[in-house]
Structure 1
Amino acid sequence: MQLVFCSSRNLSFTSSPKAVYNSGHDVVTLTEPGFNYFISSNHAQCASGQRIDVLVIHDPSRSVPPPPPSKILPFGKIYKVGDSKGWSGVYDSDYLNKWSEEKQFHVGDSLFFQYATDEANQVLEISGHLEFESCDPTSPVAVHKTGHDLIRLTKPGVHYFISSDSGQCEAGLKLRVVVGPLPKVVTPPNVHKKMDFSLKDHFKRWLGTFRYHHHH
């Protein structure tokens, strides 16, 4: 059984979910005010009432407590998947494989997927090598479909991403990323560390590096 995050209360069971959780001990952070809808992936159980509506109310008087120190990750590098070709512009079956092997990814780094949005062109994060090799889209860990998805790598190990379009996936539109542990940072004594920018600000600064600068 899986937990499915929906964008609408009237969303049919077969429609595309916003996210899918299937670890059995999923922690979902509610980041925006409004209604959030969760249903069981088992249609019969969902129909019998295994679903929940959660209303999130913004309360400016309450501050959100920071995560425990062990969970705070420094912001690493941001990699645009496929570089100039992007995600959906890949037609060479080995291009993304070579692209990934040429880089060293670490916990805290982020992947930026850029592509044209439509129902058949989504990025599915999957959990296993067999699903990756067979382009099996039936049990994704998460579904990304904004066309400019920024996905942070928070755990070491192998991460798998495939296109929701089985034909494009079989043609090579899939990515395997090997993520190394958090790199050790040596900080000189008596030096104050600057506060980390939010991921959004960090992303904007990274995009700004591509702008043309005039030299005097």
Structure 2
Amino acid sequence: MAAYRRQALLLAVVATACCLTPLASATQWMVGDYAGWRAKFNMTGWADGKTFRVGDSLMFMYDKDAHTVAQLASKEDFAACNLQGSQIGFWDSGTDVVTLGSPGKMWFICTKPNHCANGMKLVIDVEDGALTPAPAPAPYFGA
């Protein structure tokens, strides 16, 4: 009977560990959810309540003939919708994936004329991706 309990306990620990492993993996966020990257995007509050971590990625889906994605280097360029500001990255394929490589603020805009000024912009705060792993269970040496 004791052997059965040990096996059941071991099985429960393994099952729990397997189920918790996906929680530590990176998340791919589809910007704007089903509606995608679009005009007046900033008015939706899409990023509110979301936690972005290093290792996650943003997928920008949009009509490539109508929009772009540019990552800006500064809050000031973002606030002013400075299309000639310092860009860290630029994408225009319509299906762009941006990996979040370091903690801190990230600013994105559409560079088409008037799109940023009309709300097609996104700022996120990326947290350190290091998750504290759960401690390993102590070995069981019972009878």
Q: TM-score, normalised by structure 2?
A: 0.71
Per mean C-alpha deviation after superposition, the further-off stretch among 147-156 and 178-187 is 178-187
Structure 2: runs of 5+ lacking an equivalent: 1-23, 138-143
1:37-89 Cα distance to aligned partner (Å, 9 max, x none):
xxxxxxxxxxxxxxxxxxxxxxxxxxxxxxxxxxxxx851011001121002x
Q: What SS does structure 2 have at the residue aligned with 1:165?
A: coil
Post-superposition offset of 1:128: 0.6
Q: Residue 122 of structure 2 corresponds to which residue in structure 1?
A: 175
Q: Residue 12 of structure 2 corresponds to which residue in structure 1?
A: none
Contact 1:110 1:153 in 2 (8 A): yes
Q: What SS does structure 1 have at the residue aligned with 2:93?
A: coil
Residue 131 (structure 1) aligned with residue 77 (structure 2)? yes
Residue 155 (structure 1) aligned with residue 105 (structure 2)? no
Q: Residue 81 of structure 1 corresponds to which residue in structure 2?
A: 31
Q: TM-score, normalised by structure 1?
A: 0.48
**Which consecutive segments of 4 or more residues in structure 1 shift more than 6 A?**
none
Q: What SS does structure 1 have at the residue aligned with 2:50?
A: coil
Return the match for 1:112 from 39, 52, 59: 59
Q: Residue 91 of structure 1 corresponds to which residue in structure 2?
A: 40
Letter in 2 for 1:144: W
1:140-175 Cα distance to aligned partner (Å, 9 max, x none):
111111110011001000000000113111111000
Alpha-carbon separation, structure 2, partners of 1:82 and 1:92: 7
Contact 2:41 2:121 in 1 (8 A): no
Contact 1:135 1:166 in 2 (8 A): no
Alpha-carbon separation, structure 2, partners of 1:92 and 1:137: 17
1:186-215 Cα distance to aligned partner (Å, 9 max, x none):
15549xxxxxxxxxxxxxxxxxxxxxxxxx
With CA pairs under 8 Å and 6+ residues apart, which has the higher RCO, 1 or 2? 2
Percentage of pairs with the same residue? 30
Residue correspondences, number: 113
Alpha-carbon separation, structure 1, partners of 2:106 and 2:42: 18
Letter in 1 for 2:72: I
Q: Residue 31 of structure 1 corresponds to which residue in structure 2?
A: none
Instruction: From the CA coordinates, give the structure whose radius of gyration is larger.
Output: 2
Structure 1 residues 177 and 142 mapped into 2: Cα distance closer, same or farther (>3 Å)? Answer: same
Structure 1 residues 166 and 75 mapped into 2: Cα distance closer, same or farther (>3 Å)? Answer: farther
Structure 1 residues 99 and 106 mapped into 2: Cα distance closer, same or farther (>3 Å)? Answer: same
Bigger helix share: 2
Alpha-carbon separation, structure 1, partners of 2:129 and 2:76: 27
Alpha-carbon separation, structure 2, partners of 1:79 and 1:129: 22
